[in-house]
Amino acid sequence: MIEFQSVTHAFDDVLVLDDVSLTIDDGEFVLLAGANGSGKTTLLRHCNGLLTPDSGAVRVDGTPVEDDLIAARSSVGMVFQHPRDQFVSATVGADVAFGPENLGLERDEIDRRVAAALAAVNMAGRGDDRIDALSGGEQSRVAIAGALAMEPTHLVLDEPFTGLDDPARRSVLERLASLAADGTGVLLATHDLRDVCELADRVIAMRDGRIVVDGPPANVLGDLDGLDVRVPSE
Amino acid sequence: MLTYEPDDTFAHRLDPRTKLAVQIGFAATALAHPTPRALFVLSALAGLVMAGAGVSLRRTLVAYRFALLVLALAPVLSGVTLGAPWFDRAAATASGLASYRVLLVLLVSAAYVRSTPVRDSRAAIQRTIPGKPGQLLGIGVALVFRFLPVLRGDLRTIREAMAARLGTERGAVDRASTIGMLGLSRAFDRADRLSLALQARCFAWNPTLPPLAFSRADYPVLVVAVVLACSAFI
Amino acid sequence: MATNQTSVERVDDAVVRSFARAAVLAALMGAAAVVGSIPIPFSPIPVSLGVLVIYLMGLYLGPVWGPASAGLYLTAGAVGLPVFANGASGIGVLVGDSAGYLWSYPIAAALIGLIVHRGTALRDLRSVRLPILVGALLAGTIVIYAMGTAYMAWLLEMEAWEAIAAGALPFIPGELLKIAAAVAIVRAGRITSVRP
Ligand SMILES: Nc1ncnc2c1ncn2[C@@H]1O[C@H](COP(=O)(O)OP(=O)(O)O)[C@@H](O)[C@H]1O
Ligand SMILES: [Mg+2]
């Protein structure tokens, strides 16, 4: 469970998160929508302590994030925009192993997790492939596998579809749907809700650092006008 | 270009630490003994090393052609005098022998390069250099390997864009500073994204190290390395 | 959740940020060694931009992470990544004819960083006065060529003037050009060494 309690955050005196309170349960599939600059990225980076609140608190499974960063970062896996710059190794398997290695796990356990994470993103048996030889969609999926190998309860993705063509976008979405079906919570920031709404349990929308919409997709799609969000037609 | 090539030679099966030790021992004794007799023995040894790693002499010479140019020029420069006798045979010979030992060291290191994947070198660094420096150097080598093609692509794009906009007509300082500035800012953008990914994946000082183990073939080769290193002092 | 997390010694976030920049600049140095040369007028030798990256390491990473980045570059080349001039690699290059230049890089980056930042905390480069900036870059360049030619003379049993004639004089115009380029980059002020 990820909890925000009256979180504020300012950059250079500009308030970017303004009294944000929010609870995300395990297994929930949540979309985070909002125009560019509305504070989505800043909010996400509080979930695993990449940023700390100026006031208020963020808790993961009841523990304040800054009290145990390792626990927060292994419970909340995170994938950013531009997966190409997020790889630490030139080959797929070595890269996915990076997180579990940092946790100090036994080699057998690391190998098991790498295989499972690659299978979960439809890249089983591709461990020896060179990252540079992969397509954009495959790179996104390997970046997701890198987070999954930490066996997180939540997977947080910041605009993961940037630069992907439609088939690649669908291949990533399909994997997210199957992860969610297996019980991993997903928090996905995007301003393009066209084909993700049917997967989501809940849509949250931000404007100027505040949460202005929060509810099941069916109930809130009408409230997204003027937020610069692409919504499904019909 | 000289790089790692998958193969099944004797050298490919050795532990990277053994191969590093041989190179260091060889370089030490070659630098200490620029005498015809020592160089004769070392030439034979270099030949053995190259055969053991399946290194092609011709390709290696081509790869090191710029260094060879300097090595060939040195004896000429040393020999030429500004007055009678115009050419000093003794000085040229001494310089020639000195150059030749450098060639031998280059050939031996080519055997390491051809037979050792970056993954093994990283493991050797992390397991040999103690503490934090070893961890940063090991992961750092993996990162350089990962980002080298990406940044080459960046530099190429920058140069092509400059050429397309009549860049060849601009002053050399202007061109160098433009390439430098664009290259640096792109590199820093990538680095800042990379650092988020490293943090999110719990980058640690004490990870599970990559597997590496000496085999029976390593021990006699290690003895050779030690003998070589000791012979530098006689 | 993972097991034995209590024993994980996390690398501090500030260290991770500096380390990532150092690693990527080491790769930039390697990329510049292969694709980064530009022709200059009246000289048969094209200017490699490699040394420009050493200047940038000292200026933008400072006296600790600048040399760390240069050292990482040397390590990467030693173990076989094609990062040395013209794509060469191997430990042999680190004892070969140009080894003096290579080993001078961390020292030059440290020296430039120390002069410009006056300590280990990074200053805003826009506040550095021009004579200090140029002086730091000249000092770094002198270290590079002094070590480069001295080692070459010793290794190849050449006289000092022979090594200087072969290993320094032809490169002077190119070095001045790179110093001017580094100054222009700093003066443009678009890139910051101090992170928000
Ligand atoms: N590191 C930073 N320093 C200063 N301002 C920032 C920083 N990161 C984000 N901002 C500002 O915070 C606001 C919200 O940004 P962000 O959270 O990235 O929004 P979104 O992800 O919704 O586009 C923007 O106005 C942005 O300029
Ligand atoms: Mg964003």
Among protein residues, the one whose CA lies closest to atom 24 of ligand 1: A37
Confidence at residue C48, expressed as pLDDT on a 0 to 100 scale: 78
CB contact under 8 A, A103 and C10: no
pLDDT, tens digit (0-9, with 9 covering 90-100), for C110-145: 999 999 999 889 999 989 999 999 999 999 999 999
Lowest mean pLDDT among A180-189, B185-194, C184-193: C184-193
Q: Is the pTM higher than 0.90? A: yes
Q: Could you tell me if B6 lies within 8 Å of chain A, comparing CB atoms?
A: no
Q: Which fold has domain A2-224?
A: Rossmann fold (3.40.50)
Are A64 and A2 within 8 A, CB to CB?
A: no
CA separation for the pair A47, A59 (Å, rounded): 8
ipTM score for this prediction: 0.94
Enter the tokens of residue B102: 């450098």
Among protein residues, the one whose CA lies closest to atom 27 of ligand 1: A37
Confidence at residue A103, expressed as pLDDT on a 0 to 100 scale: 95
What does the pLDDT average to over B111-128?
95
Confidence at residue C2, expressed as pLDDT on a 0 to 100 scale: 43
Confidence at residue A185, expressed as pLDDT on a 0 to 100 scale: 93
DSSP collapsed to 3 states, chain A: CEEEEEEEEEECCEEEEEEEEEEECCCCEEEEEECCCCCHHHHHHHCCCCCCCCEEEEEECCEEHHHCHHHHHHHEEEECCCHHHHCCCCEHHHHHCHHHHHCCCCHHHHHHHHHHHHHHCCCCCCCCCEHHHCCHHHHHHHHHHHHHCCCCCEEEEECCCCCCCHHHHHHHHHHHHHHHHCCCEEEEECCECCCCHHHCCEEEEEECCEEEEEECHHHHHHHHCCCCCECCCC
Judged against a pLDDT cut of 50, whether residue B234 lies above it is answered with yes
Tell me the domain boundaries of chain A: 2-224
> What's the gap in Å between the CA of B63 and the closest CA on chain A?
23
Confidence at residue B87, expressed as pLDDT on a 0 to 100 scale: 87
Residue C172: count other Cβ atoms within 10 Å of its Cβ.
12
> What's the gap in Å between the CA of C87 and the closest CA on chain A?
18
Q: Which of A70, A75, A150 sits opposite C10 (nearest CB)?
A: A70
> What are the CA-CA distances from residue A26 to residues A1, A152, A159, A180, A216 (Å)?
5, 10, 21, 10, 16
* Mean pLDDT score across all residues of chain C: 89
CATH number for the domain whose boundaries are C13-187: 1.10.1760.20
Tell me the domain boundaries of chain C: 13-187
Confidence at residue B206, expressed as pLDDT on a 0 to 100 scale: 94
CB contact under 8 A, C5 and A103: yes
CA separation for the pair B161, A227 (Å, rounded): 36
Contacts of C5 (CB under 8 A, 6+ apart): A68, A70, A71, A74, A103
Read off the DSSP letter of residue C7. G
Q: Could you tell me if A148 lies within 8 Å of chain B, comparing CB atoms?
A: no
pLDDT, tens digit (0-9, with 9 covering 90-100), for C39-94: 655 555 567 788 999 999 999 999 999 999 999 999 999 999 999 988 899 999 99
User: Ligand 2 centroid vs A138 CA: distance in angstroms?
Assistant: 22
Which stretches of chain A score pLDDT less than 50? Answer: none
Confidence at residue B225, expressed as pLDDT on a 0 to 100 scale: 96
Judged against a pLDDT cut of 80, whether residue C1 lies above it is answered with no
**Chains near A, with 3+ CB pairs < 8 A?**
B, C
Instruction: Identify residue A103 by its one-letter amino acid code.
Output: L
Lowest mean pLDDT among B13-17, B119-123, C103-107, C190-194: C190-194
What does the pLDDT average to over B166-177?
77
By CB atoms closer than 10 A (0-12, 13-18, 19+), residue A187 is buried
Among protein residues, the one whose CA lies closest to atom 26 of ligand 1: A37
* Mean pLDDT score across all residues of chain B: 92
- Minimal CA–CA distance to B190: which of B223, B143, B230? B143
Confidence at residue C43, expressed as pLDDT on a 0 to 100 scale: 52
By CB atoms closer than 10 A (0-12, 13-18, 19+), residue C53 is buried
Confidence at residue C179, expressed as pLDDT on a 0 to 100 scale: 95
Contacts of B19 (CB under 8 A, 6+ apart): B11, B111, B112, B115, B116, B221
Which position has the higher pLDDT, C36 or B159? B159
Confidence at residue C45, expressed as pLDDT on a 0 to 100 scale: 58
CA separation for the pair B112, B124 (Å, rounded): 13
What does the pLDDT average to over B164-177?
78
Judged against a pLDDT cut of 70, whether residue C195 lies above it is answered with no
- Give residue C165's pLDDT band: very low, low, confident or very high (50, 70, 90): confident
Confidence at residue A222, expressed as pLDDT on a 0 to 100 scale: 78
